[in-house]
Structure 1
Amino acid sequence: MTETASTARIEPAEARKVAFAAFVGTALEWYDYFLYGTAASIVFDRLYFATEDPAVATLAAFASFAVGFVARPLGGVVFGHLGDRIGRRRCLLITVTLISVVTGVIGLLPDFVTIGLAAPLLLTALRVLQGVAVGGEWGGAVTLAVEHAPPEQRGRFAALPQIGSPVGTLLSSGGFYLVAMLPDESFDSWGWRLPFLAAFPLLGVALWLRRRVGESPVFEQVLAEHDRASVPAVELFRTAWRQVLIGVAASLIGIGGFYLLTTFVISYGSGQLGLPKSLMLAATLVAAAVEVLTLIFGGRLADRFSPGKVCLWGGVLSAAMAFPVFWMIDTRNPVLVIIAVTLGINCLSIPYAVSGSLLASLFPVHLRYSGVAISSNLSGMISGFVPLIASALLIASGQESWSTAALLLVLALITAAGGLFGHRAARTPTAEVLT
């Protein structure tokens, strides 16, 4: 085993520029990706997966939603391979272009009444491409931000791409909140398409920012001093499979719990409890706005106490709030519903805030893009089925929400365990370990 101290010079101004570009690009990427989840809750079940049984249509829509997560590990492998061989920056330009174009095309896709069975098939295929793009996006953005950051501030710099998640939620939920005010006929015919079509102009913003940042100096130094892995994914699973499992566990509540409290809860509140769609979307907007502050705070905690410890504490807190969150939602009181969604999402945002710095600390530089991308996307693949599993549990329990609260509890405890083991396995941020 050899250990190479990182001597690459990192300018603070460049580090901030890279982190901001990672944040903006990730926000737009998550905006594109989250649109599908919101649409699956309130429109795709009726327009693309139409059946006589609304519950079956909802399950079909959530199944297509989950397919995108199944494709994410493939994106992690492909772009992780490229990112660890040709560079992080080039891959991020490709991923943001791919997902933006795909999202815009969804906004142009005819529905089931117009083209029949081709509609859900094409929609599902486009969702797969979304998953591939996102599979390479987050890992690259986090890796680039961490490798440009001063060693003692990696937690706060790694938290900036995480802020892209609530901002993406604000943009996607906000877009749907506005078009949901249209009459039902207008919303179904063209209104829901507008947020998807907005992906085209937003792509220009992301590309302009990402073209202005440089490649990771740490990555360039390692390339100059050492050989690149011929197949990073193979070497990753041969030498660091334990770290991959830890990364999967540590990421679970931040991804799966989030979709449980957004995608599933929107469907549950508007479908089972009869609450207005606008109320459920407003709850996610409030939660996302508060989440920005939680993520900033979490990143600072990571620099002070270590990402693993913060992940552990956040997982335990999320577990403690699992049942109270659903108890408040079940009251149907609008104020309590908003408080419940906000509280639940912000508890799980504590481990999510530090997942970037924690995962980056688990892997050596020459495998880092692959390690971060593959472990997070394996967790994402599992998480993509959470709304579907929650819906099935709800049906099996006779529409009793305790079943979905128990699911949230399990996800939180797994992440707490990931934080504990991640703290023990983390590499020092002041040195880059090659093998």
Structure 2
Amino acid sequence: MSQTEENLLPRERLTTVSGADAGKIARAAFVGTVLEWYDYFLFGTAAALVFNRLFFTELDQTAALLASFATFGVGFAARPIGAILFGWIGDKVGRRPALLVTIVMIGVATGLIGVLPDFGSIGLAAPIMLAVLRLVQGLAVGGEWGGAVTMAVEHAPAEKRGRFAALVQIGSPVGTLLSSGAFAVVLLLPAETFDAWGWRVPFLLAFPLLLVALYIRVKVEESPIFKDLMAEEETSKVPAVEVFRFAWKRLIVATLSALLGVGGFYMITTFVVSYGSNTLGVDRQIMVNATLIAAVAQIFVTVIAGRFSERIGPGIVTMWGGILTGLAAFPLFWLIDTKSPLAITLAITIGIMLVTIAYAVSGALLAELFPAKLRYSGVAMGYNIAGATSGFLPLIATAMLTISNNASWGAAIILVAISLLTAIGGFFGERLRVSDKPIVVDA
């Protein structure tokens, strides 16, 4: 570690945190993450099943699907910008105000998608407006997850950070269950009704979900570690610049370790749902139901991996999650290619469980890669650079189908590549971890 980087590490702080308060903060962070993943996975499912037909109707089937996934990817491209913006707010003004703004932006943008006219009503303006709302989603999510993890970790006892950070990650499968469940219900409608208004209902549900999440978030107190930074005037003037200047190695490691949790998830959900229904001709209800079952399994894996990371370290858990997912990539797609509903459900469930091993501990690992004064920015930037990179993977995998004559080996190669990169990130991440300690717990 260089002398400059060492100077960025936090001085020891004595912060008193009650177990009840730590749990309260983690649950509030969890609720926001539920809304985040509900919105993002909802858009991914709609990109595979709806937007290609209703918003890009003048294109042929393949081009429309590619355009739909490109719009899906726009949100990921905006996430690093959101990470820099809200990272500045979170590290300079406060974690709490940043989280309140991001959750409102996410909920409002998602709800407005539910009232968008389609291409048949207003022509080219429809996909443009869809892309703009996706851009707003991306900016907000760029600051949401990093802030949620930072708040949960900074309120948690040092020896229990793994489980509290994992609680935030459970927001992913719960958000998936809500979004997939909503889509599974509206898919029961006649095709004409679904296209006319049924698909809009899950998006409109974002409004009441936002009210619940905002009510809980408003009651959350500021991070005690950030309060110490403010009291001692140790906040960074331009956090993103300092991350690039003094903690760039940590940023690279953070990005690598987060790749699989984001990119692998969307490969096994968004891409596979599209591949199964549009390429293999499997009923789309089967594909969506498989993601529901996988989400339930994901909850249990998240809890177990979070606890396990407290014993051996989140970096080690990340490394093995990457290795196991890489080994399973080709067999998983071979199962999907059988077109058997049981095999597809098994493949998606196992795939999500393997990806979750790394994802479950991302919060704990990334938070401990960066010192407190740069934590919000560093965590948000690392996670969302990974998101911007991997958000276009469904698009790339779909494009590769034209090269491979609709064979799945291209998608399997992509999954292997990001799995190995995440394994490398976990290996080095375990050796770079820092923490704010000691933290005293009031039982």
User: Per the shorter chain, which TM-score range?
Assistant: over 0.9
Instruction: Give how far 1:24 is off.
Output: 1.2
* Structure 2 CA distance for aligned equivalents of residues 175 and 284 of structure 1: 12
> Which whole-Å deviations, capped at 9, do the CAs of 1:366-393 have from their partners, x for residues lacking one?
1000000011000000111000010011
Counterpart among 3, 13, 16 of residue 6 in structure 1: 13
> Which whole-Å deviations, capped at 9, do the CAs of 1:83-133 have from their partners, x for residues lacking one?
001111111111111111111111000000000000000100110000001
Instruction: Provide the residue aligned with 1:345 in structure 2.
Output: 352
- 1:115 lines up with 2:122 in the alignment: yes
* Structure 2 CA distance for aligned equivalents of residues 281 and 429 of structure 1: 42
Instruction: Give how far 1:431 is off.
Output: 5.4
> Which whole-Å deviations, capped at 9, do the CAs of 1:153-191 have from their partners, x for residues lacking one?
001101111111111111111100100110010000100
Instruction: Provide the residue aligned with 2:172 in structure 1.
Output: 165
SS in 2 for 1:4: coil
SS in 2 for 1:10: strand
Counterpart contact for 1:4–1:431, Cα < 8 Å: no
The AA in structure 1 aligned to 2:186 is V
- 1:254 lines up with 2:261 in the alignment: yes
Instruction: Provide the residue aligned with 2:44 in structure 1.
Output: 37
Instruction: Give how far 1:6 is off.
Output: 2.2
Instruction: Provide the residue aligned with 2:277 in structure 1.
Output: 270
* Structure 1 CA distance for aligned equivalents of residues 10 and 379 of structure 2: 20
Instruction: Provide the residue aligned with 2:22 in structure 1.
Output: 15
TM-score, with structure 1 as normaliser: 0.98
Pair 1:429–1:293, CA change in 2 (3 A): farther
Instruction: Provide the residue aligned with 1:94 in structure 2.
Output: 101
Counterpart among 414, 437, 440 of residue 430 in structure 1: 437
* Structure 1 CA distance for aligned equivalents of residues 438 and 377 of structure 2: 19
Pair 1:335–1:8, CA change in 2 (3 A): same
SS in 2 for 1:84: helix
> Which whole-Å deviations, capped at 9, do the CAs of 1:183-241 have from their partners, x for residues lacking one?
01000010000000011111110011111111111111122123321111011111000
User: Gaps (5+ residues) in structure 1?
Assistant: none
SS in 2 for 1:349: helix
> Which whole-Å deviations, capped at 9, do the CAs of 1:351-376 have from their partners, x for residues lacking one?
10111000001101010000000110
% identical equivalent positions: 55
Counterpart contact for 1:3–1:431, Cα < 8 Å: no
The AA in structure 2 aligned to 1:386 is L
* Structure 2 CA distance for aligned equivalents of residues 174 and 38 of structure 1: 11
Counterpart among 130, 133, 149 of residue 156 in structure 2: 149
Instruction: Provide the residue aligned with 1:388 in structure 2.
Output: 395
Instruction: Provide the residue aligned with 2:4 in structure 1.
Output: none
Instruction: Provide the residue aligned with 1:51 in structure 2.
Output: 58
> Which whole-Å deviations, capped at 9, do the CAs of 1:314-364 have from their partners, x for residues lacking one?
100101110110010011111110000000011010010111000001101
The AA in structure 1 aligned to 2:70 is A
Pair 1:274–1:3, CA change in 2 (3 A): closer
- 1:235 lines up with 2:242 in the alignment: yes
Counterpart contact for 1:152–1:429, Cα < 8 Å: no
Instruction: Give how far 1:430 is off.
Output: 2.9
Instruction: Give how far 1:244 is off.
Output: 0.4
- 1:354 lines up with 2:361 in the alignment: yes
- 1:283 lines up with 2:280 in the alignment: no
* Structure 2 CA distance for aligned equivalents of residues 59 and 236 of structure 1: 35
Instruction: Provide the residue aligned with 1:216 in structure 2.
Output: 223
* Structure 2 CA distance for aligned equivalents of residues 112 and 46 of structure 1: 9
Count of matched residue positions in the alignment of Structure 1 and Structure 2: 432
* Structure 1 CA distance for aligned equivalents of residues 173 and 58 of structure 2: 33
The AA in structure 2 aligned to 1:145 is A
Instruction: Provide the residue aligned with 1:79 in structure 2.
Output: 86
* Structure 1 CA distance for aligned equivalents of residues 150 and 234 of structure 2: 19
Counterpart contact for 2:15–2:438, Cα < 8 Å: no
SS in 1 for 2:307: helix
SS in 2 for 1:181: coil
Counterpart contact for 1:81–1:231, Cα < 8 Å: yes
Pair 1:87–1:52, CA change in 2 (3 A): closer
* Structure 2 CA distance for aligned equivalents of residues 345 and 6 of structure 1: 38
User: Gaps (5+ residues) in structure 2?
Assistant: 1-6
Counterpart among 190, 194, 197 of residue 187 in structure 1: 194
Deviates more, 1:423-432 or 1:228-237: 423-432
Summarize the alignment of residues 366-377 of structure 1 with structure 2, pairs less than 5 Å apart.
Answer: 366-377=373-384
RMSD: 1.0
SS in 2 for 1:323: helix
Instruction: Give how far 1:49 is off.
Output: 1.0
- 1:304 lines up with 2:294 in the alignment: no
Instruction: Give how far 1:67 is off.
Output: 0.4
Counterpart contact for 2:114–2:203, Cα < 8 Å: yes
